[in-house]
Amino acid sequence: MEVRKVDASEITHEQFIEEHWKPGIPLVFKNATKVWKANGQFSPEWFRKNFGDRKTTVDGTVYTMNEILDLVEGKDTSRPVPYPCKYHLPTQLPEVLSMVSPLNLGFAKPNWLESSWFKRGYWGGALEMFIGGTGGKFPYVHVDYYHLSAWINQLYGRKQFTVWPKGQDEFLYPESGNAWKSAIPDIENVDLSKFPKYKDATPITFVVGAGETLFIPFGTWHTAKSLEPTISVAFDLLNDHNFPLFLKDVWAFKKQQGTAKAIAATSYAAVGGFVCRVGDMMGVERSGVHN
């Protein structure tokens, strides 16, 4: 199996829903971000010029944008390159929000995370920009929190992704108590004496380049590695298709904070889901960004 790449003009929203969203099959759009001003604009030079002093925190250390870019581009070799370096766009770089509009690209809709119901509080989804250096990789194989589907928009540089088709959970050894995270410490060099079931796994590795968008369906195990300095913008998708599993996750995660918290959060989410479902039936068009 390979991950299909298509030109955004060659597939309709309806085809995407039937061929990829419903069956849970990853897809790469070659140029869906052509509708964004950020496409072709976001680069290390552009961020140095416009947001060089903008700060973020990685593993407890505060960095400016210039410091991060010096590290990922190899201009500063005095310390390790942190990863992942993230900026939460709505709060840390609100000036660029208009440059990633329409967020849904014409395909990631309906998205209930754009509803006012799910803009209150934290529901797993976030609109973030990732900056990575050569060899920088996500520290573990995982499925996304709350069974959200991920949209990763590569705007600068190339990133290598690996995904595992659905139904391979046991081969990836989900951690006890953290079922969204694989216990395998190094997926590129798996110790089969410790993780023998992995021999039956069928990872699919491919490269996503600048201007391309990767859709990762909810519940799909995946990880990523930068092949060179990279900049990407990621957001999540929630609607009626993944809402039942989302609601179960809300209960499970909030239950860790107490039963009362879980009841309140799950009840709120259930009402929000009902309102969004009715909105979809009425043809409500949501706009803007989510948390």
Number of domains in the chain: 1
pTM of this prediction exceeds 0.85: yes
CA 180 to chain centre: 14
State the DSSP code for 9: G
Q: Is residue 19 part of a domain?
A: yes
Q: How far apart are alpha carbons 237 and 242 in whole angstroms?
A: 9
Find the domain containing 184 and state its range.
4-109+124-239
What's the rounded Cα separation, in Å, for the pair 141 and 181? 6
For residue 58, what is the domain's CATH number?
A: 2.60.120.650
**pLDDT for res 125:** 77
Residue 136 — very low, low, confident or very high, per pLDDT cuts 50/70/90? confident
Please write the tens of the pLDDT for every residue from 275-291: 999 999 998 887 666 77
Own/partner pairs, 282-286, CB within 8 angstroms, 24+ separation: 286/109, 286/110, 286/111, 286/112, 286/114, 286/115
Q: Are 221 and 147 in contact (CB under 8 A)?
A: no
Residue 167 lies in a domain: yes
Flag whether 291 is in a domain.
no
Q: What is the pLDDT of residues 209-255, one digit of tens each?
A: 999 999 999 999 999 999 999 999 999 999 999 999 999 999 998 99
In the chain, the percentage of residues whose pLDDT exceeds 90 is: 83
Q: Is the CB of residue 213 less than 8 Å from the CB of residue 32?
A: yes
Q: Please indicate, yes or no, if residue 229 is contained in any of the structural domains.
A: yes
